[in-house]
């Protein structure tokens, strides 16, 4: 069995030295075409990449000996993770190697927008001396609004406080205690938009963050606001921002990332006081050295010892534990995904309870799997290794409880998420070797996890089931499973409905309007 590693993108020579020093044979072949990669990938157990190499289903189909892919950086949009998982290939990234570099670039872009440095440079080097044209603004004593206050956002906050700015932050995962600790004020998004003199973004691109600075939200900002995006393209409505730069409502903007890259053309180019850089956030010698060293160490560790670090599609499990833990990890994945999707009013706390035989097992991979599932709706780059540390970083309280006895099942896992001031709970068990949900809001039921499920919390009143079934039927939505639980006749109840088609927004609104319905959510599991 081969232990060779292929580096298929340009990467620091330090990575090659690490592999050689640890006795791992390595080939450095950046710039290959897809066909060239497919032709040789079967010779390798490890693949080290940056963003240029696209590891799709075709590449993975040819990689019968491949065991691990390491991305020197955070984003893994260029890797088909489900296909890699299906083939048993571990996918790792290096989430913390370029945080300082990216934060520093955001601060640099903030200064560029505040002092019109890009336009002033172009004008001066063109032989003009337009000293009166470029009137900037001070950052001192201004309010900086952070959308996202994790690792990079926290570093930006620290630098901004050093500039004597006031810092407010919108981040559903940021606890009030953590906000005080790092010197920022936690606010809701609307308040940030109303108060901030400058806004920087530090969130991944997910369904919840896509277009977070929409035309509507940009219109809520203060006149003269500065907008900086060094996070991900697609977070800002670029056309709306272009109009606001033209009108003068937005005083300046600086972007390192764009909705479509490489950005050879963009609606923002040429707009007043707009500065652009070509995705340079992580482009420093130090950052590239850090991620190169980290990815090489991680791949070598796995090939030589089986150790797994920063994996996006697995948790650390020994060979002896794997068969026994596998069904519970599968259950944990489903429970975490369910819980993360119903924590839609922000995440204030998480509790995980293990009851019965499972409490005596190695629960670390189960806990990591649950936490990554809970956090994933807002943090796309989360993985099972980084989830606990990111939870701690955000200051979200977390408790794990183990009980030797489970009243009903041999083993039971219960997840509680505090959102909107109250806990939402669910529990699952392994029944016949398959993961099952067996409790919601303390109400007993038993249901299989289907890819698409409709979760309804309702009052136990006549007519609800018929009305729900009729609405789904009229919309052409087939019911695969229908499971009910209740606290008592006429009291609180839940319905878990497995469905074969997506639920259009208007149908969901009609269901939500039923007099018996208290809460409804479409779950993707």
- The whole-angstrom distance between residue 395's C-alpha and the CA centroid of its chain comes to 17
DSSP, collapsed to helix, strand or coil, labels residue 343 as coil
CB 503 within 8 A of CB 475: yes
CA–CA distance, 26 with 31 (Å, rounded to integer): 16
| DSSP labels, 63-97 | -TT--EEEESSS--TTB-HHHHHHTT-EEE--TTT
Which 8-state DSSP code applies to residue 339? H
CA–CA distance, 401 with 392 (Å, rounded to integer): 17
Closest CA to 257 of 248, 246, 249, 266: 266
CA–CA distance, 516 with 45 (Å, rounded to integer): 56
**Residue tagged active-site, from 50, 202, 232, 414:** 232
CA–CA distance, 85 with 80 (Å, rounded to integer): 9
**Residue tagged active-site, from 25, 246, 260, 261:** 260
List of residues 6+ apart from 199 with CB closer than 8 A: 144, 145, 146, 147, 192, 193, 213, 221, 225, 226, 227, 228
Distances, alpha carbon 429 to alpha carbons 42, 343, 371, 403, in Å: 39, 21, 17, 15
**Residue tagged active-site, from 22, 87, 279, 403:** 279
- End-to-end CA distance of the chain, in Å? 36
Does 279 participate in catalysis according to the annotation?
Answer: yes
Distances, alpha carbon 180 to alpha carbons 183, 186, 188, in Å: 5, 9, 16
Q: Which helix (H) or strand (E) holds 145?
A: strand 143-147
| DSSP labels, 351-400 | EEEEEEGGGGS--HHHHHHHHHHHHTTT-TT--TTTHHHHHHHHT--EEE
Does 232 participate in catalysis according to the annotation?
Answer: yes
Strand duo 411-419 + 422-431: pairing: antiparallel
Catalytic residues: 232, 260, 279
């Amino acid at each position: 069995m081969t232990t060779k590693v292929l580096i298929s993108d340009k990467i620091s020579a330090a990575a090659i030295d690490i592999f050689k020093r640890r006795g791992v044979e390595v080939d450095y072949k950046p710039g290959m075409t897809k066909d060239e990669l497919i032709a040789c990938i079967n010779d390798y157990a490890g693949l080290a990449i940056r963003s240029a190499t696209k590891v799709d289903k075709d590449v993975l189909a040819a990689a019968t000996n491949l065991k691990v892919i390491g991305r020197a950086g955070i984003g893994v949009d260029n890797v088909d993770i489900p296909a890699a998982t299906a083939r048993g290939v571990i996918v790792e990234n290096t989430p913390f190697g370029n945080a300082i570099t990216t934060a520093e670039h955001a601060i640099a872009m903030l200064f560029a927008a505040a002092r019109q440095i890009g336009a002033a440079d172009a004008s001066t080097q063109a032989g003009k001396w337009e000293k009166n044209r470029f009137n900037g603004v001070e950052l001192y004593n201004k309010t900086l609004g952070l959308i996202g206050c994790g690792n990079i956002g926290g570093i930006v906050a620290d630098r901004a406080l050093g500039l004597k700015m006031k810092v407010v932050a919108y981040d559903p995962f940021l606890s009030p205690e953590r906000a005080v600790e790092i010197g920022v004020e936690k606010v809701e998004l609307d308040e940030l938009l109303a108060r901030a003199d400058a806004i920087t973004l530090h969130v991944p691109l997910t369904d919840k963050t896509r277009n977070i600075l929409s035309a509507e939200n940009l219109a809520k900002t203060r006149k003269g606001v500065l907008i900086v995006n060094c996070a991900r393209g697609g977070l800002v409505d670029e056309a709306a921002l272009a109009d606001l730069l033209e009108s003068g409502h937005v005083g300046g903007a600086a972007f390192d990332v764009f909705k479509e890259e490489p950005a050879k053309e963009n609606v923002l180019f040429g707009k007043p006081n707009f500065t652009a850089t070509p995705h340079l956030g992580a482009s420093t010698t130090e950052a590239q050295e850090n991620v190169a060293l980290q990815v090489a160490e991680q791949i070598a560790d796995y090939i030589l010892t089986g150790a797994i670090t920063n994996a996006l599609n697995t948790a650390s499990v020994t060979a002896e534990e794997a068969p026994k833990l596998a069904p519970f990890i599968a259950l944990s994945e489903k429970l975490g995904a369910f819980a993360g999707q119903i924590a839609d009013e922000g995440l204030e706390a998480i509790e995980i309870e293990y009851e019965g035989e499972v409490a005596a097992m190695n629960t670390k991979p189960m806990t990591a799997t649950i936490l990554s599932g809970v956090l994933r709706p807002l943090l796309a780059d989360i993985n099972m290794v980084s989830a606990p540390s990111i939870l701690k970083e955000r200051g979200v309280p977390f408790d794990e409880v183990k009980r030797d006895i489970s009243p009903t099942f041999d083993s039971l896992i219960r997840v509680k998420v505090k959102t909107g001031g109250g806990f939402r709970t669910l529990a699952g068990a392994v029944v016949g070797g398959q993961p099952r949900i067996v409790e919601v809001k303390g109400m007993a039921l038993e249901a299989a996890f289907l890819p698409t499920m409709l979760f309804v919390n309702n009052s136990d009143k006549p007519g609800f089931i018929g009305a729900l079934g009729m609405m789904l039927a009229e919309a052409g939505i087939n019911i695969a499973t229908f499971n009910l639980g209740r606290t008592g006749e006429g009291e609180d109840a839940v319905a878990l409905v497995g469905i074969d088609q997506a639920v259009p927004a208007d149908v969901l609104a009609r269901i939500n309007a039923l007099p018996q319905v208290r809460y409804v959510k479409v779950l993707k599991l």
